[in-house]
Structure 1
């Protein structure tokens, strides 16, 4: 999917993401059908999409109850002050938003620019404008909200960015996700291409980064995340935030009741990074917490956020 003759060969851009004849092979027909169905759903009014998405989420909760249980466990671990009934209600609502996330992805990948702009609500644009004026590189400190795909599409209208992604082994799926994610942004970096990401920050560009998942013990530390005192947290935030003239901006995105999307960018963090990877990871988690608390059900709680434990400590999942 990339131009090997390009000096930025690891970066996928809209220009080097092309539909290929091999995608019409019968083995790809199920995915082509699914993509066509999503395109059709993207044409529907917001209110109809809301009904379909929530129904899909309830269906998914019944089909994969293990994921629903994971969401309940994550919520219970994070918010021990909430009752069992409150946790159950939050988990069920979270899965409705998980179903809506499929719709959000369809909208992000297939909506024309005019409809995206018609449905976007931006808060904190002055921080983007100031960064442009100052010539600052921007490290967008995000989290895995269920509106992630649409949030990236929205931000591209404000200041086209680069993002980190995991290449897909299925060539058609790789095409679909790369095309969708570069419609209004500059490019995608393989998550292993640290040098490429640092390079674009040094050039004063924008990098979207979400360090809130549990990526295993390698290059990670254990710091608090909500009520879990020892949550495995990656330390790469310090590396990216240390780039030349780079400032770190916490961001969040949510679906509004009327089907529009709200994107918020907060003021850049002061005195960050601190030079201490553990402290930086703790600060990063706190910023993610602040964003999640705005709309708890719209975070990706189905991920096993606390799967990695310090050596000798038992699993938090039963």
Structure 2
């Protein structure tokens, strides 16, 4: 039955790719509103994250944020039908590029593009790969392998269909280092909890969070510039704009904790104006500092 449901999901994504963007986005929002009415583990995770990160807000305010978060997350899932299965022209139409980093000019020099899980994360990553292809620049993205092998194979193909090379996080680090040193673009989404072994504890909206130290370590090891990036949801169902900011002058340093704190500060600055676009559905505080109880 698992394979049947996987194929049904794959089929739905292809169907959505043929529908107008506005209809797909509204369908996702409506589905999110419906699912929020049903008690679920993900709903509790969202509520817990918002309570921890925004204690100054009232319970009613956090409940409204949680409800809208579900709408935005489900919208982004529905839109993947377009960004994973739609045409080259569709992706260009619905995702703008704001390249303040001037990626083509950086080709041949080590650099890392660091992003976070906003609703447009898939749209932005695919559009950057497409943009790089326009300039004949190889692009690579680190990704987390899915437990469903059938879906994982399709997802890897969809994400790399414009020439992007998908690299599993479990792959040999030496391969990643080699590609960065060659000056090829490496996209890394770095805002999740990958456990204490790969992380350092630094604040995320005032809460100690296991935060990925790989950005600082890879940048120091390869001499890479760090480019922060985020994908903004445009109003009135106009799609997205992926912003590639100028290279960070102060990252990396000799202090991994300081670098990782700077990265989280960037994430906070991007999330604060658009709280409900963030993927609060993730267990951002799953790993706790020694001696502290779990929050989920």
Counterpart check, 1:236 vs 2:183: no
Counterpart check, 1:166 vs 2:144: yes
Which residue does the alignment assign to 2:115?
Answer: 142
Q: Is 1:124–1:265's contact at 8 Å kept on the other side of the alignment?
A: yes
Counterpart check, 1:128 vs 2:103: yes
Which residue does the alignment assign to 2:66?
Answer: 91
State how far apart, in whole Å, the 2-side matches of 1:291 and 1:189 are.
26
Counterpart check, 1:249 vs 2:219: no
Paired residues in the alignment total 289
Pairing partner for 1:262 from 233, 241, 251: 241
After superposition, the C-alpha distances for 1:194-230 in whole angstroms (9 at most, x for unaligned) are 11111100111111112211111113221111121x2
State how far apart, in whole Å, the 2-side matches of 1:101 and 1:79 are.
23
State how far apart, in whole Å, the 2-side matches of 1:204 and 1:173 are.
31
The runs of 5 or more residues in structure 1 that have no matched partner are 1-25
* Superposition map of 1:171-186 within 5 A: 171-186=149-164
* CA shift in 2, pair 1:276/1:223, >3 Å: same
Pairing partner for 1:225 from 199, 204, 211: 204
Pairing partner for 1:212 from 191, 198, 211: 191
State how far apart, in whole Å, the 2-side matches of 1:123 and 1:81 are.
34
Q: Is 1:204–1:245's contact at 8 Å kept on the other side of the alignment?
A: no
* Superposition map of 1:99-110 within 5 A: 99-110=74-85
Q: Is 1:232–1:309's contact at 8 Å kept on the other side of the alignment?
A: yes
After superposition, the C-alpha distances for 1:207-265 in whole angstroms (9 at most, x for unaligned) are 1112211111113221111121x211121112221244521100001332324111111
Which residue does the alignment assign to 2:14?
Answer: 39
Cα displacement (A) at 1:180:
0.6
Counterpart check, 1:203 vs 2:203: no
Say which SS state the counterpart of residue 207 (structure 1) adopts: strand
TM-score under structure 2 length normalisation = 0.91
Which residue does the alignment assign to 2:135?
Answer: none
Q: Is 2:16–2:81's contact at 8 Å kept on the other side of the alignment?
A: yes
Pairing partner for 1:60 from 35, 44, 50: 35
State how far apart, in whole Å, the 1-side matches of 2:162 and 2:220 are.
26
Q: Is 1:202–1:244's contact at 8 Å kept on the other side of the alignment?
A: yes
TM-score under structure 1 length normalisation = 0.85
Q: Is 1:79–1:227's contact at 8 Å kept on the other side of the alignment?
A: no
State how far apart, in whole Å, the 2-side matches of 1:62 and 1:286 are.
33
The runs of 5 or more residues in structure 2 that have no matched partner are 133-137
Which residue does the alignment assign to 1:14?
Answer: none
State how far apart, in whole Å, the 2-side matches of 1:72 and 1:279 are.
29
* CA shift in 2, pair 1:213/1:187, >3 Å: same
Cα RMSD over matched residues?
A: 1.9
Counterpart check, 1:155 vs 2:128: yes
Cα displacement (A) at 1:64:
4.9
